[in-house]
Amino acid sequence: MLGAAVALGGGVANAGWIQGTHVNTDLPGPFYITASPDGSTLFVCNQSGNSVTFVDARTQKVTGEVSVRTQPEAAAVTPDGAFLYVCNGESDSVSIVDIARKQEIKEIKVGDWPSGVKITADGRTAYVACSGCMWNTIDVIDTGRMEKVRSIYTSNYGPRMVDISPDGKTLVAILDTVGSINRSVDFIDIASGRILENRVIRESANLRDVVYTPDGKHVIVTYQTPKNWLPVCEAENGQVFTNNIAVVETKAGGKVARIPLDELNNYDGNPYGLAIDPKGRYLYIGIRGMHRVTILDMEKVLNIVRGNTQEELDYLRDDLGLVRDYLVARVPTGLGPSSVCLSPDGKFCYAANYFSNNVTVIRTAAD
């Protein structure tokens, strides 16, 4: 079933759905989605169903479901496509799933509430962010031995998600530290495990995802700003937020740009998962509170970052007309898209819809 076409640059974005993301679970709560290295298979972590669904990306049909541990929050595939590493938040563990056999073959205990995992390009190491509110480790798994071998201690509590730089030298972690109004990002040297720099995103809360641009010069973070004065766009549970991405230059002492997603009468409530196409042209954001994927023109975003001083960027954070300069499209999805991923060629964007228990398929304008 295809939805209405949406203009995307010079092409068309069509939204369709994979109906049902489960085999054994009635209400799975699909929370996270990722793709195999060759793009043939999608893996959907079902947070409420305690399972991972396998989907054939070509036919868009469910091909199986694997039980894991309690509340799977994220997953990563080894580069050879053989194994899936799944973060089980409530179980404080990582499940290793044999993809060919569709079977969990090992559970590895890690720190409190693992919520993000990335695997190095050589496939030898998995980095697991443990985001418990009084926890500050990224646990390191040797994938050959399938064992935890050490922990990296972050500069504050709550490392929620991680990403690896394109050159494989640096790990970035977002620190969603409970109680702090100035949450932050750690840049970590992979070879030594040493923190290179901690960068603060001022007046920030609810950091949800992080991704490197393909050239490695910036990282993008989804977050919200708690507000007690205008301009505001959203009141949620008695609290007021504006919704943003942060664009952080990766060079030492670089700029931290807080870029609004909201318009005066149209807000992107609760931005969550991120994906960026292989050429770095478009950024895809799962907007959990508004049931859509917002697509941004990254060159236009980066032109704003490059063309303004830090002081000017701080002022632009409150400009609720700015998003019109870089907004490409807002594509309706199912209910509560918490995670997005792209096919390796960038031609399809997939969104895991937590509340409607399905996956939205968006055909992009990739060449």
- Residue 347 near residue 302, CB atoms below 8 Å: no
- Residue 116 near residue 87, CB atoms below 8 Å: yes
How long, in residues, is the chain? 367
Express each pLDDT in 331-349 by its tens digit. 999 999 999 999 999 999 9
pLDDT confidence of residue 294: 97
**Alpha carbon distances (Å) from 218 to 33, 172, 196, 255:** 23, 11, 15, 10
- In this model, does residue 149 exceed pLDDT 90? yes
Q: What phi and psi values does residue 251 have, to the nearest 5 degrees?
A: -70, 150
In percent, the amount of the chain with pLDDT more than 70 equals: 89
Express each pLDDT in 34-79 by its tens digit. 999 999 999 999 999 999 999 999 999 999 999 999 999 999 999 9
Strand ranges for 233-336 from DSSP E:
234-236, 239-249, 256-260, 271-276, 282-287, 292-297, 327-332
Residue 332 bridge partners (DSSP): 292
Q: Is the model's pTM score more than 0.85? A: yes
Under the banding of pLDDT at 50, 70 and 90, the label for residue 5 is very low
Residue 81 and residue 11: Cα distance in Å, rounded? 31
What's the mean pLDDT in 170-185? 94
- Residue 297 near residue 364, CB atoms below 8 Å: no
- In this model, does residue 157 exceed pLDDT 90? yes
- In this model, does residue 190 exceed pLDDT 60? yes
Q: Both tokens of residue 230?
A: 């205008």
pLDDT confidence of residue 33: 97
Check the CA dihedral 361-364-366-367 and report its sign.
positive
Q: Which residue has the tokens 């695997």?
A: 119
